[in-house]
Amino acid sequence: MKLQPGRLADGREITYFDESDDAVRNPLDRRELPPPPHPSELRFDPLTEEWVAIAGHRQSRTFLPPSSECPLCPSTEDRLTEIPADDYDVAIFENRFPSFATAADAGGFTVDETAYPVVRPGDGRCEVVCFTPDHDASFAALDEKRVRTVLSALAVRTAELSAMPGVEQVFCFENRGVEIGVTLHHPHGQIYAYPYVTPRTTQHLAAARRHRERTGRILYADVLAAERAAGIRVIESNEHWTSFVPAAARWPYEIHVAPHRQVPDVAALTEAERDACAPLWLSTLRRLDGLFGQPMPYIAAWHQAPVRIDRDLGYLHLQIFSIRRAPGKLKYLAGSESAMGAFVNDIAPEDSAAALRAAG
């Protein structure tokens, strides 16, 4: 894989990840762009002990443009985009409308811990991951070689973002489908470098810590071993990975793709583990699309350990889930889920796993 860094017209970074050593991707971004927006701010909610980002500038972000105006397609002589090159394999660049970004002059900010609300800068970083220059493709339509390139690119960015001052957790993910809330149709994912450990990860780590105190073992490793032993919710596996529907799945169709070896993040995977991940990642998405014979809206979320704490408790895994429960029917997060965080799943995980196996 060949890496080629560059700069966009407003100073944001872009990196091309190419499968050929002959590729040359260093064109000048000829656009005239305004400076990046002022960073967001974080406000602390004492009722939940969670940080909430306030990012008003994101209201003006691009929303479902026609394909002729897509900002993620390669640039042409007639139209300049976020990708200055006329072609690419995988490209990753800083988001123009970030939820988190570190300002050059943010160092003098003082946090008053006695104030209400407690406010701090929304430091961090948000990046866009373009999987392919083909606007009409999808991740499931990629070949294994390209998925392998995506994995390597995520590993590079995870390592580099983890080394940034103030970054506490790196989250790689893909949103697919207007039902999920995507604002661009071009196949792409995102990377968030958070200045705090996220609520879901905090919850996972607390449970893992209690489990280790009781048993001396790693919680997710025990869950994975139990699912593999039971077999009824396993979808498929290979030498290094297993995909399964968790016994307490919250979503109608939810799959975990987990390595057999405990590692904290994508960057810690071996070459063999990355090679083995690609076919299962692809197979899982293709099974989802095959369930109802139509593109499935989904979120694909890489759960990675925090950068500085509890890395020995974390267990990398890919969670892929859809809100579609049947053709024409979505699983809405209504009163119980949205207000109380208490999930009710309409489909038994065993039935979901059987349907996904058959869809293969």
Q: What are the pLDDT digits (tens) for 109-125?
A: 678 988 999 999 999 99
264 pLDDT higher than 80: yes
* CATH number reported for the structural domain that contains residue 67 in this entry: 3.30.428.10
pLDDT at 108: 58
Count CB-CB contacts under 10 A for residue 278: 20
**How far, in Å, CA of 89 to CA of 23, rounded?**
9
pLDDT at 360: 84
- What residue numbers does the annotated binding site for Zn(2+) cover? 70, 73, 135, 186
Q: What is the dihedral of CA 184, 156, 279, 243, to 10 degrees?
A: -90
Is 155 a domain residue? yes
Residues written for the chain: 360
When computed from its CA atoms, the radius of gyration of the chain, rounded to whole angstroms, is: 21
How confident is the model over 205-224, as a mean pLDDT?
98
- Domains in the chain: how many in total? 2
Helix (H) or strand (E) holding 83: none
Let me know whether 167 and 247 are in one domain.
no
pLDDT at 297: 98
Let me know whether 215 and 267 are in one domain.
yes
Let me know whether 47 and 24 are in one domain.
yes
Least confident of 98-102, 111-115, 138-142, 180-184: 111-115
103 pLDDT higher than 80: no
310 vs 109 pLDDT, higher one: 310
pLDDT at 322: 98
106 pLDDT higher than 90: no
Is 201 a domain residue? no
Let me know whether 235 and 169 are in one domain.
no
- Residue 255 sits in which domain range? 207-359
Is 202 a domain residue? no
pLDDT at 111: 86
Closest of 92, 127, 105 to residue 18, by C-alpha: 92
Is 76 a domain residue? yes
pLDDT at 218: 98
151 pLDDT higher than 60: yes
The pLDDT confidence band at residue 72, using thresholds 50, 70 and 90, is: very high
- The proportion of the chain whose per-residue pLDDT surpasses 70, expressed as a percent, equals 98
Q: Are 256 and 266 within 8 A, CB to CB? A: no
- The proportion of the chain whose per-residue pLDDT surpasses 90, expressed as a percent, equals 94
Q: Is 358 helix (H, G, I), strand (E, B) or coil?
A: helix
Is 86 a domain residue? yes
To the nearest whole number, what is the mean pLDDT of the chain? 96
Beta strands in the chain (DSSP E): 2-7, 13-18, 41-45, 50-54, 90-94, 119-121, 125-130, 169-176, 188-194, 234-237, 241-244, 253-259, 298-303, 317-322, 324-326, 329-330
Closest of 331, 290, 15 to residue 180, by C-alpha: 331
Let me know whether 72 and 145 are in one domain.
yes
105 pLDDT higher than 60: no
Let me know whether 74 and 160 are in one domain.
yes
The pLDDT confidence band at residue 273, using thresholds 50, 70 and 90, is: very high
Let me know whether 18 and 106 are in one domain.
yes
**How far, in Å, CA of 254 to CA of 250, rounded?**
7
Let me know whether 106 and 230 are in one domain.
no
The pLDDT confidence band at residue 60, using thresholds 50, 70 and 90, is: confident
- Which tokens hold the place of 171? 């989250």
Which of 161, 196, 231 terminates a domain? The answer is 196
107 pLDDT higher than 70: no
Is 268 a domain residue? yes
As a 3-state breakdown, the chain gives helix, strand, coil percent values, each rounded to 5, of: 30, 25, 50
Is 334 a domain residue? yes
Which of 196, 229, 250 terminates a domain? The answer is 196
pLDDT at 176: 97
Let me know whether 156 and 219 are in one domain.
no
**How far, in Å, CA of 357 to CA of 338, rounded?**
30
Let me know whether 290 and 260 are in one domain.
yes
The pLDDT confidence band at residue 126, using thresholds 50, 70 and 90, is: very high
pLDDT at 104: 61
**How far, in Å, CA of 296 to CA of 225, rounded?**
29
Let me know whether 184 and 231 are in one domain.
no
Which of 196, 217, 249 terminates a domain? The answer is 196
**How far, in Å, CA of 179 to CA of 185, rounded?**
12
Least confident of 24-28, 51-55, 274-278: 24-28
- Which residues form the catalytic set? 188
Is 154 a domain residue? yes
Let me know whether 163 and 211 are in one domain.
no
